[in-house]
Structure 1
Amino acid sequence: MPFGEIVCGSPGSGKSTYCYGKHQLFSALNRPIFVVNLDPANDNIPYPCAIDISSLITLEDVMAEHGLGPNGGMLYCMEYLEANFDWLEERLKELGKDAYVLFDLPGQVELSTNHESVKNIVQKLAKLEFRLAAVHLCDAHYVTDASKYVSVLMLSLRAMLHLELPHINVLSKVDLIQQYGDLDFNLDFYTEVQDLSYLESTLSSVSPRFKALNMAICSLIEDYGLVGFETLAVEDKESMLHLTRVIDKATGCVFVPPPDAQHPPGTVQATDVPASQRPNTHALFTSAAGPMQGPRSDVRDVQERWVDAKEEWDAWEKTQWRQEGQMVQEAARKSKIRERGTKDKT
């Protein structure tokens, strides 16, 4: 069965950049991946696009033909895609049963929080046996302002309740967070969403008139206890790998053995069915409830990398890159010498 991600978020949160980075990462890991553009207004796609909704409908044509504005036209496009889902279904079947697909949604937040078309499309994808997770991107700079942070929490909670999928909220562009000023609390306060009462003094000083309303919203978010965040810096390999592991656990892809994977005898059924349909008992018992491992798995490491000691880490990484480049050049030089020696002998 195919796996995939519903990539959603507000405009400018980095959805297309994330899809491009994920495509590059999976290509380097030799994991097949396809990106589906479902934004009819996106005419500057950075990633290789397997399926493009503009082949079916474009926002510009809808606005011109029906006299709609950008938001109304976008809703019309999603309703049109829902009505013509067979167009998408046929093209998805061409990708194969083991496809890993990213669905890049438009930036209009009402599509993932209120409007029914995207939700209905997701349900139809589930009937096609897609194992999906929603990846909701939020710009990390919102955590530098208490009122904006509460708004992001409400938006994330609404998307979780509406889409009804395994859901990963992500603070994107965390590598740029230092540009927006100092944080009132450590980064783990914003990612774990444990005790929002600490925001009371800040919210009261900014808008004392709405103090009771703000705290009621915070109480509502805490009562649900659903919202939490991962962090993401697309250009950081470790950050992308950590988020990939989180998503793989959410979708169940972590339990699918690669075709060439070595496992203890008897743990993987040797059948002719696709890899995504073979059980992986070894992975089930070794990684199902285990903690996430890796350099960016602890948010305290993320804070040290991008907030507390960003300049020092940047300098260290540049040194590492320089050394790696020198090693590659030296290996290439030795390879040329060996080739030259072989030619001389012949």
Structure 2
Amino acid sequence: MGSRYGTIVMGPAGAGKTTFCSALIEHLKMNRRSCFYVNLDPAAEDFAYTPDIDIKDLISLEDVMEELHLGPNGGLIYCFEFLLENLDFLTEPLEDVTEEYLIIIDMPGQIELYSHVPILPALVKTLTRGSLNISMCAAYLLESSFIVDRSKFFSGTLSAMSAMLMLELPHVNILSKMDLVKGQVARRDLKRFIDPDTSLLQDAPESGLKYEYKTGVDNGDADEKSTMLAGETFASLNRAVAQLIDEFSLVSFLKLDAQNEDSVGTILSYIDDCIQFHESQEPKEPNDQLDDMDVDGMG
């Protein structure tokens, strides 16, 4: 058995991860490529394509919250701890996946998994080593509407960098839902977000944050109030975050419009390069390609 190939799709809630997975599967089907779809979001319900492996067949977030009286975040952590204790649920079906398939792993949106707890690195090590030996790339999605609020954009960029450092995988960082900002951001300005330019914070518009003085509570001294009114504390924090991102020079973004086949294809080409997918594939004769015309494309 040769190496296997896969991508793990991550990012904050609402970034469009499942939509991207569906668009990726559709693109693979259109191009006569096989894929194996894994859902690891124990709260997900609606899918355009039925997952080959669904964590909800093992454990669901709704059941955990109801039976253990946990909140959404605590329940999610419990679900992944339970998965790590029952890894055969995930690894045994993957043993039968051949190198022609692209394994697509759809992750939940809770940012704690990518920055605070060691659960995901442990899972990635299991998948990328041993008998599975999956050559894997992480696709981290950040919603393009973040660029409207520059401090929010740099916060999201820092989260992407944190995931890169924590997982130690080749990464493709993606600005998703580009159709939402079409016409709102000039192409020249957009380039400064694709390769994050820290000077964006220097000419950022006023944040609109105001200090509201309240009676009956400790509002701090006058100097603190003045600093908060001026927004200096937030500006200083944002500059520190931007400087950190700039010094590491790790994060740049690809643009994604999931409704555009060319856009999805471009993202897939970057993923294939990261996992060196095409290097393992045997060249096909024209007759072989005709024989593949009836391939479904789904595992």
Q: TM range, normalised to the smaller chain?
A: 0.7 to 0.9
Distance 2:150 2:35 in 1: 37
Shift of 1:32: 0.6
2:256 equivalent in structure 1: 232
Equivalent in 90, 93, 118 of residue 91 of structure 1:
93
1:165 equivalent in structure 2: 169
| Moved >4 Å (runs of 4+) | 203-206
Question: Does residue 1:189 correspond to 2:192, yes or no?
Answer: yes
Question: Contact 2:33/2:101 (CA < 8 Å) preserved in 1?
Answer: no
Cα 1:47–1:198, aligned 2, differ >3 Å: closer, same or farther?
Answer: same
Question: Does residue 1:154 correspond to 2:158, yes or no?
Answer: yes
Equivalent in 124, 143, 148 of residue 144 of structure 1:
148
- Root-mean-square deviation over aligned CA pairs: 1.9
Equivalent in 243, 249, 255 of residue 219 of structure 1:
243
Distance 1:84 1:36 in 2: 16
Shift of 1:94: 2.9
With a CA cutoff of 8 Å and minimum separation of 6, indicate the structure with the bigger relative contact order: 2
Distance 1:66 1:75 in 2: 12
Distance 1:196 1:261 in 2: 50
Question: Contact 1:200/1:211 (CA < 8 Å) preserved in 2?
Answer: no
The SS at the match of 2:110 is coil
Question: Does residue 1:71 correspond to 2:95, yes or no?
Answer: no
Cα 1:141–1:183, aligned 2, differ >3 Å: closer, same or farther?
Answer: farther
Letter of the 1:34 counterpart = F
Identity %: 35
Give the alignment's TM-score, normalised by structure 2.
0.82
Question: Does residue 1:251 correspond to 2:275, yes or no?
Answer: yes
Cα 1:248–1:97, aligned 2, differ >3 Å: closer, same or farther?
Answer: closer
Letter of the 1:242 counterpart = T
Distance 2:139 2:114 in 1: 11
Provide the aligned length of Structure 1 versus Structure 2.
Answer: 260
Question: Does residue 1:125 correspond to 2:127, yes or no?
Answer: yes
Equivalent in 1, 4, 15 of residue 2 of structure 1:
4
Question: Does residue 1:109 correspond to 2:111, yes or no?
Answer: yes
Shift of 1:59: 0.8
The SS at the match of 2:51 is coil
Letter of the 2:284 counterpart = D
The SS at the match of 1:169 is strand
The SS at the match of 1:11 is coil
**Any idea what the Cα deviations from partners look like across 1:187-217, whole Å, max 9, x if unmatched?**
1110112x31242131676533322222121
Structure showing greater Rg: 1
Question: Does residue 1:134 correspond to 2:158, yes or no?
Answer: no
Shift of 1:3: 0.3
Letter of the 2:265 counterpart = L
The SS at the match of 1:171 is strand
* Unaligned stretches of 5+ residues in structure 1: 263-346
Distance 1:245 1:233 in 2: 15
Distance 2:143 2:114 in 1: 16
**Any idea what the Cα deviations from partners look like across 1:303-336, whole Å, max 9, x if unmatched?**
xxxxxxxxxxxxxxxxxxxxxxxxxxxxxxxxxx
Equivalent in 48, 58, 61 of residue 60 of structure 2:
58
More helix by share: 1
Give the alignment's TM-score, normalised by structure 1.
0.71
Equivalent in 154, 174, 177 of residue 178 of structure 2:
174
**Any idea what the Cα deviations from partners look like across 1:62-86, whole Å, max 9, x if unmatched?**
1122111111100100111111112
Letter of the 2:36 counterpart = F
Question: Contact 1:39/1:104 (CA < 8 Å) preserved in 2?
Answer: yes
Distance 2:157 2:205 in 1: 14
Equivalent in 31, 34, 46 of residue 32 of structure 1:
34
Cα 1:84–1:6, aligned 2, differ >3 Å: closer, same or farther?
Answer: same
The SS at the match of 2:9 is strand
Shift of 1:153: 1.2
* Unaligned stretches of 5+ residues in structure 2: 209-230, 287-299
Distance 2:28 2:178 in 1: 21
**Any idea what the Cα deviations from partners look like across 1:126-160, whole Å, max 9, x if unmatched?**
11210000000110011121111111111111111
Question: Does residue 1:23 correspond to 2:47, yes or no?
Answer: no
Distance 1:16 1:223 in 2: 32
